[in-house]
Amino acid sequence: MLHHLGTRTKRVAMAAELIRVLQVGGSALISVWAYDRKTAGKRKHTEQDVLVPWHLQGRFADQTKVDAAATPHGKTEDDRGLEVFYRYYHFFKEGELEAVCYDAATKLDTEVTVSTSRDNWNWFVTVTKKG
């Protein structure tokens, strides 16, 4: 959920809490959306912080819950009549997620190792707490 947090300060705080609760030698996997993600025929994002539409299919809608889920950005309907909610996403650039993890460890005065991998859509890091 790190990519749903709106500021770097909040992302570092969340990573710090994740590292804090790890046992020495313990690891955690963090996955975030990549800024330069390869999308099949779709336009690449031009900004790192975006609102991504989510289309709620009517068969899953409970109107009471739908109304309660409306965000400050509101909800709309698409051309199929499906309700659309907008979710905040921060798209991570290369090296950014690792920097968040190392800053979180520094905040805790703790040492970690961070290994990184990537697929077309996401960045992955494995953070391991040192003893």
Q: Where are the alpha helices (DSSP H) in the chain?
A: 8-21, 63-69, 96-108
DSSP type of residue 3:
G
The residue among 120 and 16 whose pLDDT is bigger is 16
Per-residue confidence band for 55, with pLDDT thresholds at 50, 70 and 90: confident
Q: What is the pLDDT of residue 120?
A: 81
How far lies 86's CA from each of 71, 73, 116, 117, 128, in Å?
8, 7, 29, 28, 34
* Span of 16-20, 41-45, 48-52, 88-92 with lowest mean pLDDT: 41-45
The residue among 79 and 114 whose pLDDT is bigger is 114
Q: What is the pLDDT of residue 36?
A: 85
Q: pLDDT digit string (tens) for 85-98? A: 788 899 999 999 99
The residue among 64 and 30 whose pLDDT is bigger is 30
* Span of 9-13, 60-64, 78-82 with lowest mean pLDDT: 60-64
Q: How far apart are CA 65 and CA 48, in angstroms?
A: 29
Dihedral sign computed on CA atoms, order 14, 114, 3, 99: positive
Q: Say whether pLDDT at 41 is over 60.
A: no
CA angle centred on 124, ends 118 and 56, rounded to 5°: 95
Q: How far apart are CA 30 and CA 126, in angstroms?
A: 6
| Residue 4 DSSP SS3 | helix
DSSP type of residue 22:
S
CB-based contact 27:128 (threshold 8 Å)? yes
